[in-house]
Amino acid sequence: MAPETPAGAPAAAPAFASRDPLSPQFWDERFEKAFTPWDRGGVPQALRDFVARSPGPLATLIPGCGSAYELVFLLDAGWDATAIDFAPQAVARGKAQAGQWAERVVQADFFAWQPQRPLELIHECAFLCAMPPAMWPKIAARWAGLLAPGGRVAGFFFFDQTVKGPPFGIEREALDALMAPYFDCIEDAPVHDSIPIFAGKERWMVWQKR
Indicate the range of 14-18, 59-63, 111-115, 182-186 predicted with least confidence. 14-18
Domain 20-209 sits in CATH 3.30.479.30: no
What is the tens place of the pLDDT at every residue in 112-138? 999 988 999 999 999 999 889 999 999
Domain boundaries along the sequence of the chain = 20-209
**Cβ pair 49, 73 in contact under 8 A:** no
Residue 42 pLDDT greater than 90, yes or no: no
Helix ranges (DSSP H) in the chain: 24-32, 45-53, 69-76, 88-98, 136-146, 172-179
**Mean pLDDT for all residues in the chain:** 87
